[in-house]
Structure 1
């Protein structure tokens, strides 16, 4: 099974090798672009497509959507680091200062590299004499990827106390390096993101209009989905944005691409196969990291048992907490698909196994990303042969249609309206009874159990709900087994991560990497 990015990426690497600008690809210091050094570029339709392909190379970077941003999500109560790792531990304990090395220090800079490449396209492609359909699609891709990149850095590092993150567009991309300032509020970023996503939604085709060779490119529904999520985050500062969340969630549902939950009234099979390569390109996946046996998101292997029971180089990070395990209702099939508990049966490398771990500190493992490891000889066909880059053919989701429904439900409830219909669609797929007059507590529960272990971002949910301080003041429990080699071993519930002091006066955002502060001159977030 081949990864579309391999086909796109090889071309894009050639484009990047042209040295299209006079400064380096590193956008850390927000340097201006300079002039195109290869005068033959930006001439043909192939040039435009190759430039667009370059937007996606960093999607499969290990420190972006493999780990990277997930280290911040690991701060939540749903999981612990899983292994003793000092740098990772201080992130989870909110005891960092921006000098954490590769773990989180490159998320910001690499996001701005994508932004710079998008600006390159938006500067040059409008004047190219190429077909209107290709021009529109390439411009739509650039607007989407610029917005998507800003979305992640804006809510991670920006608020209304410290300000947002620098906004670099075609209009100011040639300004003197070091002259870029932070806007007064992250709301300014959300406005820019919304503007870009609206343009992307106008220009991009529906996913169903793509041929298979273009799967992995952004499409209209992805732009509409992130319009909903951007407005959901924006609503923390302006409650009138909740109506926009509902509008854009409905726009995804009615776009014409047939968006729907994977729901054949067989909850256990539906939810299990949902989290597998079988549904990479089906109706529920809005935006994902296009992955394969050669590149993509490494999250599947990162969450696998450390050393993979002697079969594969699993990394053993991000292990679920007992609190997350206990959050599931009786009869909720999502728990077994999401989490492996001691004694649970599963198939691994063609063998029937019962879960046990001599490595997991919490006594659990995420099961969502395990489907591709079940086959007798998965390496090279379903799983990367390079265990140091443990990708699989499963496209790790960044947004699913289930999240779109839950965003709509949240916006309706927060706005004093009834959110039962979208929330119960998600519950029905899980085989659960509907809720009447759902509350925010019901919504918080549903979002937690449906999206556990995904880039939906449980940590930031707790921050924006104002729940982080109280949640993190409680220790995290796991299950400590008498004999960790025995699936039937007795256990005791014990603290596996101590209570933490989360100071909401400044910890609602993370520190900007010191390398960025030093090279750009922008101020660090207060308190860090």
Structure 2
């Protein structure tokens, strides 16, 4: 995927420089449309690479989507985006900019994916292997766009292939049940078409395991537990998707090759900036300092759990920024809470010029997530203890010193997901789905003041059911639809 981005970037720079010199001498070389672009294998691969490139957008996965986890008891939003405060405190309305920003990118992902789904089958100058893979990628990436829409907004418009062909884009919302069916359909096709793994030249492309992993997540949100167990086991039993040997291996420069990363944002140093990483790093170190961990998250880790040190930077911790000055100390003035997410603070060595490492692959889904989802499904269908083996695999990977669980119920499962996946965008959505199932009381969890050391403030979030289960549709989209789109209830 990234090799294509490099090519595009070089071409853009070359054209830009040439245009500065001889803008009036440029001649149009041709006009590409969906009807005449898809001619051969290279066109298919490049078109699919163009879908992946959206994941780098700052107002999409690059940052904006991470904002939807800041209401949780793990985060203090920090940063200077005023709209994020409304998301954190659940005081937003439909005009909130953070709600508006990613909407267009999700549908652009669906648009580009559907374009590939319609046109790649028409190409004859393409190998069966590349055609199948490209179609599988397009189906998966379309499902991912709908997944984010469904998770955040609930009922949303589905743009069918017929709608796309007829250029009909102003359509009413579909029910969340229909959106789930759309996602399931695309993921099942992706599972059938995608390869199990890739070579180094195609590192970062989605695989069969990626599609199976998201299908497992879909079934958990759908509360189709037998299907989640059966699907998730296909990930767990496949060595291509094995847990990394060490927890920290997932958050190092070398993690691009990790079998555990089922889905990730990959970037290239000096070519594509990884905004996701940058947002978590303190400002004096070259980042923006957003989404800082709270004391309650730090307290959740057990003694002797190395995931705490791998996840959090605490006051007094040392880190090498690659600036040639040796180890730098994390001090209280670098964070409003006294913590930062170490798992995203990845830097180049001094030999590589120091600074933020943009070759670090940001995990969007890891196999450990699937292990714990299957464990949860087993507990919720078969009772306490049914998920022990999977929970213990995750725990013992973290450290053999952590005591094994025995007869684990949802309390232990909830703890394990919180510490294993901290900062990876799961906590708020996990709590909401557990609240709907009456396993936790999210209002009680959120309505308690949360310590925000070292300064004398606290975070209190008022969760209102059912209003806050989903965010509103952006008001600007409601207005543009001229009555076709109907706002979510309670907004």
Query: What is the match of residue 212 of structure 1?
Result: 200
Query: What is the match of residue 405 of structure 1?
Result: 371
Contact 1:420–1:437 (Cα < 8 Å) also in 2: yes
Number of corresponding residues: 459
- With normalisation by structure 2, the TM-score equals 0.88
1:366-515 map, 5 Å = 366-372=341-347, 375-376=349-350, 378-379=352-353, 383=356, 392-417=358-383, 418-431=386-399, 432-455=402-425, 457-466=426-435, 467-480=441-454, 494-497=456-459, 499-515=460-476
Displacement of 1:45 in angstroms is 1.6
Query: What is the match of residue 525 of structure 1?
Result: 488
1:152-176 deviations in whole A, cap 9, x for unaligned? 1111100xxxxx2111121332456
The alignment yields a C-alpha RMSD, in angstroms, of 2.3
Displacement of 1:204 in angstroms is 0.8
Q: Distance in 2 between matches of 1:177 and 1:11?
A: 35
Query: What is the match of residue 345 of structure 1?
Result: 318
Q: Distance in 1 between matches of 2:4 and 2:274?
A: 11
Distance change in 2, residues 1:107/1:13 (3 Å):
farther
Work out whether 1:225 is the aligned partner of 2:213: yes
Displacement of 1:8 in angstroms is 6.3
Contact 2:266–2:362 (Cα < 8 Å) also in 1: yes
Work out whether 1:182 is the aligned partner of 2:150: no
Contact 2:159–2:169 (Cα < 8 Å) also in 1: no
Query: What is the match of residue 31 of structure 1?
Result: none
Work out whether 1:298 is the aligned partner of 2:275: yes
Give SS of 2:328's match: strand
Q: Distance in 2 between matches of 1:87 and 1:75?
A: 13
Displacement of 1:181 in angstroms is 1.5
Structure 2 unaligned regions, length at least 5: 14-30, 436-440
Displacement of 1:378 in angstroms is 4.9
Distance change in 2, residues 1:288/1:8 (3 Å):
farther
Q: Identify which of 251, 255, 260 aligns with 2:242.
A: 260
Q: Distance in 2 between matches of 1:11 and 1:509?
A: 41
Give SS of 2:268's match: coil
Structure 1 unaligned regions, length at least 5: 15-34, 159-163, 236-240, 264-269, 385-391, 482-493
Contact 2:320–2:347 (Cα < 8 Å) also in 1: no
Give SS of 1:522's match: coil
Displacement of 1:416 in angstroms is 2.6
Displacement of 1:335 in angstroms is 0.5
Displacement of 1:228 in angstroms is 0.4
Query: What is the match of residue 201 of structure 1?
Result: 191
Distance change in 2, residues 1:13/1:205 (3 Å):
farther
Displacement of 1:461 in angstroms is 0.8
Distance change in 2, residues 1:345/1:438 (3 Å):
same
Contact 1:280–1:395 (Cα < 8 Å) also in 2: yes
- With normalisation by structure 1, the TM-score equals 0.82
Contact 1:71–1:88 (Cα < 8 Å) also in 2: yes
Distance change in 2, residues 1:38/1:126 (3 Å):
closer
Query: What is the match of residue 321 of structure 1?
Result: 294
Contact 1:372–1:378 (Cα < 8 Å) also in 2: no
Contact 1:320–1:365 (Cα < 8 Å) also in 2: yes
Displacement of 1:438 in angstroms is 0.7
Give SS of 1:122's match: helix
Q: Distance in 2 between matches of 1:415 and 1:8?
A: 50
Distance change in 2, residues 1:194/1:365 (3 Å):
same
Displacement of 1:84 in angstroms is 5.2
Q: Distance in 2 between matches of 1:435 and 1:120?
A: 48
1:225-264 deviations in whole A, cap 9, x for unaligned? 11101111111xxxxx111111111111334x5321122x
1:20-419 map, 5 Å = 37=33, 39-83=35-79, 85-101=81-97, 103-129=98-124, 130-158=126-154, 164-174=155-165, 177=168, 179-183=170-174, 185-207=175-197, 210-235=198-223, 241-255=224-238, 257-263=239-245, 270-293=246-269, 294-295=271-272, 297-308=274-285, 313-349=286-322, 350=324, 351-372=326-347, 375-376=349-350, 378-379=352-353, 383=356, 392-417=358-383, 418-419=386-387
1:375-399 deviations in whole A, cap 9, x for unaligned? 22554x7736xxxxxxx21110000
Displacement of 1:177 in angstroms is 4.1
Q: Distance in 2 between matches of 1:125 and 1:511?
A: 35
Q: Distance in 2 between matches of 1:477 and 1:124?
A: 54
Q: Distance in 1 between matches of 2:240 and 2:11?
A: 31
Contact 2:140–2:186 (Cα < 8 Å) also in 1: yes
1:205-226 deviations in whole A, cap 9, x for unaligned? 111xx23221122111101111
